[in-house]
Structure 1
Amino acid sequence: MAYLCRADRREAIMNTVIDIVSREGLAAATVRRIAQELGCSPGQIHHHFTSAEMLRAEAVREVWARLEPALLEAMMRRQPRERLLSVLSGCENVIGKELGPIMDVAERLWHEARGIRHESAVRDAIAHGINRMSDFVIATLQEGVEAGIFPPDLEVRQVAIRLISAAQGYDLLEETGSTVYLGADRATFFDELLRREKL
């Protein structure tokens, strides 16, 4: 690896990690593999990331960080209820053709990360993602209350955690093939859930 300042070297490492995990999954993100791709020693990778676990966790964060601005921009053009439905339904109705491929990678990495959440750094990356989702849902609910779209006495934080819990639970049911018992696709399920929450 040619000489790069610390920030540029870290960015080169992350770009390589994302390229590898996009094609081959999180398990392929090993320090040795990244070093081989970059033509440097594993020690140079360890200078920025102490373990492969840290690399995998950062890959999950970074893919979402790259995707999030475009998703937020698209969602903010919608009314609060539509925004909630979008985020709970996996943002499928706001993804343009240009975002489709990276969204596919992000979803796959998210599911893989949940599978290895016993790794503390990966668990922290998942918690970060859920916290970002929670912040968005809370802000959207609050905006809806202030605009008179949602009930004025809405318990914003409690409703937000119920919605996020339902979204995470739906993901698990989807992974295990159990959504057939719900009798509705994801968007319909969450539309009904929002209605039950008086949203």
Structure 2
Amino acid sequence: MIGERRKFNRLGEDGRRAALIAAAIALISEGGPATATVRAIAERAGVTPGLIRHYFTTKEALMRAAYAQVMDAMTQASVDVLASTPNRPQARLAVFVAASLRPPVVDSRAMGLWAGFLHQMREDSEMRAVHEASYLHYRDLLQGLIAALPRVADAGQLRADAIACNAVIDGLWLEGSALPDAFRPGELVRIGLRSVSAILGLDLMAEMPERGI
């Protein structure tokens, strides 16, 4: 423990804050929110409980930061694939949807963390605000990809399409993360692409001929 604390103390301000968030996420992943007490988080991070208050005014504030990091990481994993995707609107949308329905986004640990935060979301308006921000960030990215497609759609239609496509992706993500052995390889991706294609009136599967789906 002494060695861990010395290592921790060499971190900068950002590193210390990140280490506390990582400790909270690890504890929630292992045993749910009840295991992520201030004492347990401090012990996992190798600091005294009092130091947590230096970075987060309350434990709830730390939980919000942890939730935001989990959600942002999943969204970023879907965004990252766009860097190596041809600059064709349908191809970019197809790989974005596919990435959202594959590991590391589809993951039982991530789903467990998401579920663990739900109770706090019901009781904490600030946690709901964090959830809303993460939801809208992903949906706005999705809507931007949909808006780039070569079709005619006004702002209202684009919004409705993004909400519908996001709902399909969310539902498949939840089931795939909760029951990873219930689906054949690539099945979630195929269903997701076909469902989004049906909503938008196009064929995203044609953009994925060599991706093992």
* Structures share fold, TM-score greater than 0.5: yes
For the residues of structure 1 that align with 2:80 and 2:133, how far apart are their CA atoms? 20
SS at match of 1:110: helix
Is 1:107 the counterpart of 2:115? The answer is no
Which of the numbers 192, 195, 198 marks the counterpart of 2:195?
A: 192
Q: Against the structure 1 CA distance between its residues 66 and 89, is the aligned structure 2 distance closer, same or farther, given a 3 Å change threshold? A: closer
CA displacement at 1:115 relative to structure 2: 4.0
Q: Against the structure 1 CA distance between its residues 157 and 68, is the aligned structure 2 distance closer, same or farther, given a 3 Å change threshold? A: closer
Q: Confirm or deny: 8 A CA contact 2:101 2:192 kept in the other structure.
A: no
- Aligned partner letter, 1:163: C
Which of the numbers 121, 137, 140 marks the counterpart of 2:142?
A: 137
Structure 2, gaps ≥5 residues long: 178-186, 203-213
For the residues of structure 2 that align with 1:11 and 1:71, how far apart are their CA atoms? 22
Identity, % of aligned positions: 23
- Aligned partner letter, 1:164: N
For the residues of structure 2 that align with 1:44 and 1:32, how far apart are their CA atoms? 11
Q: For residues 51-66 of structure 1, what are the structure 2 equivalents within 5 Å? A: 51-66=58-73
Q: Confirm or deny: 8 A CA contact 2:28 2:116 kept in the other structure.
A: no
CA displacement at 1:45 relative to structure 2: 0.5
Deviation per residue, 1:84-123 (Å, 9 max, x gap): 5666678234x3xxx37x8432222123323431223332
CA displacement at 1:130 relative to structure 2: 0.4
For the residues of structure 1 that align with 2:72 and 2:200, how far apart are their CA atoms? 30
Q: Which residue of 2 aligns with 1:34?
A: 41
Structure 2 length-normalised TM: 0.65
Which contiguous aligned blocks of 4+ residues in structure 1 show a shift greater than 4 angstroms?
A: 78-90, 165-175
- Aligned partner letter, 1:130: Y
Structure 1 length-normalised TM: 0.69
For the residues of structure 2 that align with 1:194 and 1:9, how far apart are their CA atoms? 44
Q: Which residue of 2 aligns with 1:163?
A: 165
- Aligned partner letter, 1:158: A
Q: Which residue of 2 aligns with 1:153?
A: 153
Q: Confirm or deny: 8 A CA contact 2:75 2:138 kept in the other structure.
A: no
- Aligned partner letter, 1:157: R
Deviation per residue, 1:22-43 (Å, 9 max, x gap): 3223332222211122343222
Moved more, 164-173 or 57-66: 164-173
Structure 1, gaps ≥5 residues long: 176-184
